Amino acid sequence: MTKLASTSPRRGPKPNLHTRDNLMLAGLRMFHTTGYTATGIKDIVNAADVPKGSFYNHFESKEVFGKEVVDFYFSNALPDIKNILEAKESNPIDRLRNYFESRMDCVRENGYSRGCLMGNFSLEVADHSELIRESIAEHFQTWKSLIESCISDAKAKGHIKNQIESPQLAEFILNSWEGALLRMRADKNEKPFDDFMNVIFNLVLA
């Protein structure tokens, strides 16, 4: 421990921060394609091409690393989500439609594989790590708020006439999106997306 501490990022920040970034990028890629349990620390260290002992210089445990990777994943996604959903010059319903269509471009590119890391961790890790679960729950909340703003905007403009409140509609849409992603992983086609778009934009946001 003492020996490891002497190479901590505070004493030689540049190379160590680089190592940390490489670990995060490798971890994100591997957790997303292979899964949390199937990816060992040794695999991550090898993929990041960093010295074997360096992992514990930066992260206390695989669990802490997993939480940091989920945070990193969501903070990377956030600018794109905001860019589309907060584009106030467009009609709020169009913003929502654009957002899901842009996500679908990604899903299609990945051959209906990988899905959403937060969804994956919800099923694979959340029952077993309170630390990671709390982090995912918080990010879902932030994501939902951005969808909710569009819906409130559309309600204020009279584009949505139903009586269900914006927060409930936003939660429902977010969860249904995760469900559509899940089903695309099983079926390997985009029918779940077509059904999602059809029902959400013709019945739920009407």
Residues near a second copy (CB under 8 A):
33-35, 37-38, 113-115, 118-120, 122-124, 126-128, 133, 136-137, 140, 162, 164, 168-169, 171-172, 174-180, 182-183, 185-188, 191-192, 195-196, 198-199, 202-204, 206
CA angle 140, 162, 143 (to 5 degrees): 10
- Closest approach, Cβ 147 to a second copy, in A, equals 12
Contacts for 35 with CB less than 8 Å, ≥ 6 apart? 120, 124
- Closest approach, Cβ 115 to a second copy, in A, equals 6
- Closest approach, Cβ 48 to a second copy, in A, equals 21
Residues 95 and 165 sit within 8 Å (Cβ to Cβ):
no
Q: Where are the alpha helices (DSSP H) in 40-91?
A: 41-48, 55-58, 62-85
- Closest approach, Cβ 181 to a second copy, in A, equals 8
In terms of CB distance, is 102 or 175 closer to a second copy? 175
In terms of CB distance, is 20 or 36 closer to a second copy? 36
- Closest approach, Cβ 167 to a second copy, in A, equals 9
In terms of CB distance, is 156 or 164 closer to a second copy? 164
- Closest approach, Cβ 137 to a second copy, in A, equals 5
Q: How far apart are alpha carbons 78 and 139 in whole angstroms?
A: 10
Residues 44 and 26 sit within 8 Å (Cβ to Cβ):
yes
In terms of CB distance, is 1 or 111 closer to a second copy? 111
Residue 190 identity: E
In terms of CB distance, is 106 or 199 closer to a second copy? 199
Q: How far apart are alpha carbons 182 and 83 in whole angstroms?
A: 25
In terms of CB distance, is 36 or 57 closer to a second copy? 36
Core vs surface per residue 154-169: b (16+ CB within 10 A) or e: bbeeeebeeeeebeeb
Q: How far apart are alpha carbons 72 and 47 in whole angstroms?
A: 18
